[in-house]
Chain A
Amino acid sequence: MNKNWPLWEIFVRSKNGLEHRHFGSLHAADAEMALENARDVYTRRSEGVSIWVVESKHITASNPEHNGELFEPAQDKIYRHPTFYDLPDDVKHM
């Protein structure tokens, strides 16, 4: 039976104000069941206040083979980091 259930990706918001984070994946027959399963699998220790579920097949992932062209060009462009400014002392927590 289990083999027929599609895979779902589970996103949980730990508390109000924070973003939903990917928590893991599980099997369920439909979205409603995925929500209930996610509630039982991932939030039984008060980990969350909100759950998103999305069927895994709807996620488009970048191909690791393309990592070179996708990500490496950014490596020698340190000027894109905001590290070349003198911050006034009054500005804290940057």
Chain B
Amino acid sequence: MKTNLYNYILELADNCLIAGQRLGELCGHGPSLETDIACTNISLDLFGQTRSYFQYAADIKGEGATEDSIAFLRYEQEYKNVLLVEQPNRDFAFTMARQYLYDVFHLLLLEKLQFSQDITLSAIAKKSIKEASYHVRFTGDWIKRLGDGTEESHEKMQAAINDLWTYTNELFEVTEDAKIMVAEGIGVDVSTLKEAYYEKVSALLEEATLTIPESKYFQKGGKSGIHTEHMGYLLADMQYMQRAYPNMKW
């Protein structure tokens, strides 16, 4: 089995899966019918991308692996998503901030991944770019609305940005598997996206009259499977059906 490629695909896909799961939690609980549908649409886009990655990963893994077994039957430390995307929905500002901070990265990543030497990853990236472009437009709009909105919305958005900022730097960490994939022309060197990322995010925060946090301390661990305390609850919720009714089909 091509272990490096398999791990690298999980690294790409787990971010989509967990970000999608968090947004999906809003289904029926959004602040308005319209935003509720918008959030679950984004969630479904991300799940669609996740499925493409996991179907590919299942082929590589063999041994009867399926997209479902990869999505639902791993243990917490086997998930490679960044800590950012697993942070729980606190309020709508927090949800939009978390998603926006991921979306900007996601789009930059896909714009590079479309030139991957691996034709499957390249095809998934090309298909996903349009979706990710809309996500960043939608969440970016909300950052501006709430940041430059009322005193209360500004306060909540600023608090969200301040709290989530510490998780942004992990996006640009290059894992051992990724290093090998970059060398083979398959993976994207995410460290090269950092400058463009903070430039884009800072410009939007300024437009939203928000203050760019100055914190120099950053959290990490997600990519190597060391997650925050929220991850176990998320997985319990997400994995329940497959654990309780193995191999069940929707």
Contact = CB atoms under 8 A, between A and B. Distances in A.
A51 interface: no
Contact of A2 (B32, B38, B145): B32
A36 B33 CA distance: 13
Contacts of B214: none
A40 B35 CA distance: 9
Interface of B is mostly: helix
Nearest to B145: A29
A37 B34 contact: yes
A72 interface: no
A90 interface: no
Contact of A1 (B31, B33, B141): B31
Contacts of B35: 37
Contacts of A41: 33-34, 37
Contacts of A29: 145
B138 interface: yes
Contacts of A26: 33-34
B41 interface: yes
B37 A40 contact: yes
A28 B38 CA distance: 13
A23 interface: no
Given A40-B41, A44-B41, A32 B141 contact: yes
| Most chain B CB within a 10 A radius of its CB, from A26, A28, A33 | A33
B157 to A, nearest CB: 14
Contacts of A44: 37, 41
Interface residues of A, number: 14
Say which size band chain B's interface belongs to. 10 to 19
| Most chain B CB within a 10 A radius of its CB, from A2, A33, A40, A44 | A40
A25 to B, nearest CB: 11
Interface string B136-149: 01100100010000
B38 A37 contact: yes
A44 B48 CA distance: 14
A27 B32 contact: yes
A1 B32 contact: yes
B41 A36 contact: no
Given A2-B32, A5-B32, A27-B32, A40 B38 contact: yes
Nearest to A26: B34
Interface in B16-58: 31-35, 37-38, 41
| Most chain A CB within a 10 A radius of its CB, from B34, B35, B38, B137 | B34
Interface string A12-39: 0000000000000011110011001100
14 contacts: A1-B32, A2-B32, A27-B34, A29-B145, A33-B141, A33-B145, A36-B137, A40-B34, A40-B37, A40-B38, A41-B34, A41-B37, A44-B37, A44-B41
* Top-7 shortest CB links A-B: A37-B34, A40-B38, A2-B32, A40-B37, A40-B41, A26-B34, A41-B37
